[in-house]
Amino acid sequence: MLKIILNTLNYLAMSNQELIEKFLDNSLQSEDQILFDITYKANSDFRKQVDFYSDLIKGVRFASNEKIREEVRQIHHQILPDLLFENDLRQSLLLRERESIKNEILAAKPTLIEETKASQTKVIRFFSKQALAIAASILLAMLLTVFYINQRNKTLDDAQMILVTKSIENIKQRAQRTGFADQEKMFHELQSKIFNLLESGHKTEALKENQAFFISKSEDYRYDQMQGIIFLKSGEYKKAVRSFQTAVTKGDECISKSMVLILDKSNFELNQKLKQEIKQTEACEQFEWIKQVIDQLN
Amino acid sequence: MNEQSTENEIIEAIRSGQSDGIQQLYKRYYPMILNLIKLNGGKSQDAEDIFQEALISLISNIRKPGFTLTSKLSSYIYSICRNMWYYKIRGNKGTIIDTEVLNSVPDIDHLPEMETFEEKHKLIAQVFENLNKECQQILHEFYFLDRPLKDIGVEMNYTEGSIRVKKSRCMASLKKFVEDHPQYAQLFSYE
């Protein structure tokens, strides 16, 4: 009994400062915790001190979190363009594989029909006419899509496709890295918005956003540059080339010039000249991907 | 470190601060998360943000002493991202959610809690950088990595008593720096 009383007296004698020290050392025992909680509720000065220290601890954790964030961010910017490119390439190859299987099936179809007729096998009807009609229209839609994509893509070869995909991914990444110190912050935000719209299939809205942003700045080459990117992402290569060429005439020395270089192989001499110009333009050195384009086209 | 590296090798690389551990996480799991987010009404930017947050949480846990992963890394990352994405879109009624995808991986026990930070914590973090390196290390290891003071002391050649005093002084310096900051009165008010 005496021991309990002595302990209680000891606890009551413990100063608030000691309690806070124990709290900061994570060494509050269960008895201390009870006293701590009571004091916290009853004493507003004590509560303010504890809340402030809790914020300090949280701030320390935030600082440590930020260091990890920076570590991750660096790797993110270093690795993501290539990773996304690999992903796109993988999907394209998959699509190509599917198309070739589809072609095999289509090629095999007449042979199968002939074989069926020849053997005069009685065909058991598994599907209703309606189901067959739906299946036929889906197949037709798929074939039309493949035809349409082929038509739009036929002007680009594999090497061009790879360079275009990489370039666009780099432009997108750069736009998304915008920060407070970015002098082109608003333009980069517009670019991010347009890339998001394009990803969700809203090409017309993307074009409208671009027009609205440059409404009173018709001589700004970034309008044509962005329009070129929109057409490029939508597979309209001829329009894209025209937009990039306009941007070049308005003074886009790096991005649009590089895009023309990738997309338009028709004039060898002009391309050689463009390459030289890009190489000699100091401002283009900030774009690592442009250097790669020049190297690969050499 | 390559595509054949085991999960334990990746964890070890992250623990020892080698960047190729994090690179492997990106290569192996980012496409999976991109797919998850896109199937559930998100965009690639959302996937990037969510994946980054999940990695920060995973890395900070891996670097804490005694961390052991009781599930596969892929399940762990998937669960964190799924929960974060669920939490983010809960208020957005326009988003179409593929619940089948979201529920396809069972919940992992003891997922880390996401701490929310305010402006005042950013200010403290800023001020924290003004402390000397020794103080930064002591406070980081004790309050972020949850390492026992005794262990920190052994590593830094201090007795348990001395490291306790050191930590206490570091905390007092941090407190003073924050109180002296011009934005202190504006950001810190307690009832």
More confident residue, A266 or B57: B57
Cβ distance of B190 and A83 shorter than 8 Å: no
Q: How far apart are CA A209 and CA A198, in angstroms?
A: 11
For residue B65, give the 3-state DSSP assignment.
Answer: coil
Q: How far apart are CA A230 and CA A165, in angstroms?
A: 13
Q: pLDDT at position B113, please?
A: 62
Q: Which of B59, B121, B129 sits opposite A55 (nearest CB)?
A: B121
Token pair, residue B137, equals 């290390």
Name the pLDDT band for B151 (thresholds 50, 70, 90): very high
Q: Angle CA(B25)–CA(B28)–CA(B29) in degrees, nearest 5?
A: 75
pLDDT at A236 over 60: yes
Of B69, B71, B49, B52, nearest to B61 by C-alpha is B69
Q: What is the amino acid identity at position A99?
A: E
**How far is residue A245 from each of residues A153, A209, A248, measured CA to CA in Å?**
20, 21, 5
More confident residue, A139 or A217: A217
pLDDT tens track for A46-92? 999 999 999 999 999 999 989 999 989 888 888 887 777 777 777 77
Of A188, A184, A193, A153, nearest to A171 by C-alpha is A188
Min Cα distance A222 → chain B (Å) is 23
More confident residue, B167 or B31: B167
Q: With contacts defined as CB-CB under 8 Å, which chain A residues touch B80?
A: none
Q: pLDDT at position A63, please?
A: 93
What DSSP assignment string belongs to A59-80? HHHHHHHHHHHHHHHHHHHHHH
Q: With contacts defined as CB-CB under 8 Å, which chain B residues touch A52?
A: 175, 188, 190
- Please give the average per-residue pLDDT across A268-286, as a whole number: 84
Q: What is the amino acid identity at position B136?
A: Q
Of B88, B65, B47, nearest to A196 by C-alpha is B47
Q: How far apart are CA A241 and CA A264, in angstroms?
A: 7
pLDDT tens track for A255-266? 888 888 888 877
If one counts every other C-beta atom within 10 angstroms of the C-beta of residue B124, the result is 27
- Please give the average per-residue pLDDT across A130-145, as a whole number: 63
Name the pLDDT band for A37 (thresholds 50, 70, 90): very high
Residue A94 sits at the chain B interface (C-beta within 8 Å): no
Cβ distance of A63 and B52 shorter than 8 Å: no
Length of chain A (residues): 298
Name the pLDDT band for A94 (thresholds 50, 70, 90): confident
Residue B74 near residue B129, CB atoms below 8 Å: no
- Please give the average per-residue pLDDT across B143-156, as a whole number: 93
Length of chain B (residues): 191
Cβ distance of A199 and B44 shorter than 8 Å: yes
Cβ distance of A200 and B60 shorter than 8 Å: no
Greatest CA separation for chain B = 59
Task: For tokens 């406070």, name the residue.
Answer: B139
Token pair, residue A88, equals 């796109």
pLDDT at A125 over 60: no
Give me chain A's average pLDDT, please: 79
Q: pLDDT at position A16, please?
A: 87
Task: For tokens 């892929």, name the residue.
Answer: B74
Q: How far apart are CA A135 and CA A178, in angstroms?
A: 48
| Predicted structure pTM score | 0.55
Q: With contacts defined as CB-CB under 8 Å, which chain B residues touch A84?
A: 44
Instruction: Enumerate helices (H) and strands (E) in chain B, giving the number of each.
Output: 10, 0
Q: How far apart are CA B154 and CA B160, in angstroms?
A: 8
> Which alpha helices (H) appear in chain A, and where do they start and end?
2-13, 16-24, 30-42, 44-119, 129-153, 158-176, 185-199, 203-213, 221-233, 237-249, 255-263, 268-280, 288-297
**How far is residue A209 from each of residues A185, A194, A251, measured CA to CA in Å?**
16, 7, 22
